[in-house]
Structure 1
Amino acid sequence: MSLRPFLRPVVRSRLPTTTTPATATATPSCRPHRRNYAMQTPGNPVLEIFNRRVKHLQKDRAAQNVDESRKTDYIKDEVAMRLCERLLDIKRTFPQVLDLGANSCNIARALTTPLPDESSPTGTADPLAHRIAHLTCIDTSAALLNRDLALPFNAALPITRQVVPDLETLPYAENRFDAVLSSLSLHWINDLPALLAQVNKVLKPDAPFLAAMFGGDTLFELRTALQLADLERRGGVTPHVSPLADVRDVGGLLNKAGFKMLTVDVEDIVVEFPDTFSLMADLQAMGEGNAILHREMGPLSREVLLANEAIYRALHMEDGARGVPATFRLIYMIGWKEGEGQAQPLERGSGQLNLKDLLGGGEFGPK
């Protein structure tokens, strides 16, 4: 099922070039939880945010209902397609590719599907599978990873599925892969800086890493409505939506991991649901439920859910809309492992042309 007929126009944005004034503040109810990262000192345990066992069980349970799991793959399939569109710009073949956190092999499906290409006379490009000799898909959930093992796309691309106990430890030698892709899995990683450093190691020199992850204001509508519902019905706030990385953190993390020629961009996908109950049911069927380590156990009470529905509609539903909107903010990143012969920026001051001369001379700025 393609998500494109149901999407609002995509809102694209680039990294901000100006800082927010110090006097500007955000209201507590609207401010998203921001992921904080710290360098690990030798011998100290990693600070864990997410319960990996709970996330593994959520994926297994989601895969048990195959029909419902496939119906709710619309976000993961769409993001995988958009990630693979970025691979079109890299004009090379890839003998060995790793899909890190493959879920149900959404990237493999995208690689075997014709992609939109405005430069092509037909409007589409040939599937990228012919440029990839072998794809290794790894995930912690065997049920989800093997869910679509019998579907036709498996015959169009050599695929090896590998179940690993932990996505945060890659069981591969250095310089193994010609590219590493990851779609909608990195937002569940506890030690993201360490994982990015491992990705850099398993890549061959001058090989790319392309990834997409939820970040920033993803599901900000649900987060704010649940916070207010908790305050109204229980007199306190409990985190029901997982903390997510900010786009401003991603470039620094890639740089510290050793990647070069970085590209980071953002897309907002807004999906309309009949009500908040449908939204939360889809999140569960996707395997994207709350997995914070010290979250409150058990389901939300009926009173909180009903209050959440009313508050959500009052705050976020537009006049004349068919349903309630849910925003999924996607952070796309591309980084290259350093390699011999790789393009390098020129040294500062080495330019031979003056911008003022090119623009016809004169003074710039207000007089």
Structure 2
Amino acid sequence: MNNIFSSRAVCGACLSQSVLRWVGIRAPQFGPPLRARARMHTGHGKLTGSGGFYCPKRPQRCLTPQRHVSGRHGGTMNVFDRSMKRRQKTWASRLPEHHEYDYLRDEVGGRVADRVYDVARTFPLALDVGCGKSHIAEHVSKDIVERLFLMDVSHGSLMRKKECEMPTQCVMADEEFLPFRENTFDLVVSSLSMHWINDLPAALRQIHGVLKPDGVFIGAMVGGETLYELRCSLQLAELEREGGFSPHISPYTAAADMGNLLGQAGFNMLTVDVDEVQVHYPGILDVLYDLQGMGESNCAWNRKCLLHRDTILAAAAIYREMYGNEDGSVPATFEILHMIGWKPHESQVKPAQRGSATASFGELSKISQPQTSNKTDKP
């Protein structure tokens, strides 16, 4: 049976120190996990396109850690309520029909696994950051990844993890504070969890740190154009009904910024590409119910917790009028940013030095031309 290491103070037997030293888990000071009541909602969409716990022996204090901005001027940034996101994911994992809301995560997890297969090597030790119910692991064989660590902030999601071929170990920890030593993993993957991180540059630097030299990070997160139909409909409805609007959809990272963020974190040989996954729903309420069932409800500190009935009805009409399909359904677009970055190593191919070229671009057009002979016949 797979154990679940927890970086929080929770009840259970302490694991042996030899196991903890082997993976290098360190315990940040957090309070006990909060619990949320389980409630039931319905609404379905379709695609078109374990054991013991680690208990730190040091005294614990219930503190909210500071998130520091990665900019030059310092300061703090706390856009998302991480404790709220943990409660949302735990609540969603307790739904009786929780598996019916996994269609998007399963689809994106399969695409991340495809990119893992594109790397022609075997990874002895890998880490899945924000694994949820292990949506990537079920698509990866033990011939590619020999051992996998699953890490998530929600204990409920880890308890619902899916079966996979390779041996796994679960670690309950916050994605913003990786509890591992440097140079530990050969591969780090992540799927649809990093868009809830307050300080994304710092999180990427931590991922870079726990990777071994020549290790690779393969991740996917939602981009800035995600749910633009829902965002526009709610804004127009609130403007018309209430004379102003509040942010109901959380801010996302633009695709143009991911390359710079990966480069600043220390990765090289970068690859960033964009996919669009479109899901069709019967109406706007089904979109909201499924987002809640996924654990993807907004958790920004400046969110508006109440939507008036008139505003929802107006938004439903606007959604159907502006974006509705002929069959009466409405689309919801998810922009998925796929990223690959390698930790530098001396064995990697490096670009040639500037000015070392032996041919100019002007000579490229002459390569395909047949060579003419200037020889003359001698008598």
- TM-score category (smaller protein): 0.7 to 0.9
- 1:95 match: secondary structure: coil
Match of 1:247 in 2: 255
8 A contact 2:45–2:280 mirrored in 1: no
8 A contact 1:272–1:322 mirrored in 2: no
Shift of 1:346: 1.5
State yes or no: 1:159 paired with 2:188: no
Bigger mean CA offset, 351-360 vs 242-251: 351-360
Match of 2:338 in 1: 332
Shift of 1:360: 2.8
8 A contact 2:270–2:341 mirrored in 1: yes
Q: What amino acid maps onto 2:308 in structure 1?
A: S
State yes or no: 1:358 paired with 2:364: yes
- After superposition, what is the alpha-carbon deviation per residue over 1:307-356, rounded to whole angstroms, capped at 9, x for unaligned? 010001111124x2441011000000000001121111112332223343
Change (3 A) 1:360 1:278: same
- 1:103 match: secondary structure: coil
- Paired with 2:96 and 2:339, the residues of 1 have a C-alpha distance of 31
Identify which of 305, 310, 314 aligns with 1:307: 314
- 1:91 match: secondary structure: coil
- After superposition, what is the alpha-carbon deviation per residue over 1:111-156, rounded to whole angstroms, capped at 9, x for unaligned? 1xxxxxxxxxxxxxxxx332211100101100011113xx5x24x2
Match of 1:135 in 2: 148
Identify which of 90, 95, 99 aligns with 2:124: 95
Q: Larger radius of gyration, structure 1 or 2?
A: 2
Match of 1:201 in 2: 209
8 A contact 1:99–1:182 mirrored in 2: yes
Change (3 A) 1:297 1:4: closer
8 A contact 1:50–1:189 mirrored in 2: yes
Identify which of 34, 39, 46 aligns with 2:70: 39
- Paired with 2:274 and 2:251, the residues of 1 have a C-alpha distance of 17
- 2:124 match: secondary structure: strand
Gaps of 5+ in 2: 1-43, 50-67, 369-379
Identify which of 264, 272, 285 aligns with 1:256: 264
State yes or no: 1:71 paired with 2:100: yes
Change (3 A) 1:322 1:307: closer
Match of 1:23 in 2: none
8 A contact 2:46–2:281 mirrored in 1: no
Match of 1:124 in 2: none
- 2:89 match: secondary structure: helix
- Paired with 1:303 and 1:110, the residues of 2 have a C-alpha distance of 44
- Paired with 1:238 and 1:145, the residues of 2 have a C-alpha distance of 33
Change (3 A) 1:163 1:45: farther
Q: RMSD of the alignment, in Å?
A: 2.1
Change (3 A) 1:93 1:361: closer
- Paired with 1:254 and 1:195, the residues of 2 have a C-alpha distance of 10
Identify which of 347, 353, 358 aligns with 1:347: 353
- Written as runs of structure 1 = structure 2, the 5 A alignment for 1:180-199 is 180-199=188-207
- Paired with 1:103 and 1:5, the residues of 2 have a C-alpha distance of 20
Shift of 1:4: 12
- Paired with 2:48 and 2:70, the residues of 1 have a C-alpha distance of 39
How many correspondences in the alignment?
307
Shift of 1:184: 0.3
Identity across matched positions, percent: 42
8 A contact 2:47–2:103 mirrored in 1: no
- After superposition, what is the alpha-carbon deviation per residue over 1:213-242, rounded to whole angstroms, capped at 9, x for unaligned? 001100000000000011111111100000
TM-score (norm 2): 0.77
8 A contact 2:223–2:252 mirrored in 1: yes
TM-score (norm 1): 0.80
Identify which of 48, 55, 80 aligns with 1:50: 80
State yes or no: 1:105 paired with 2:105: no
Identify which of 76, 79, 84 aligns with 2:113: 84
Match of 2:47 in 1: 6
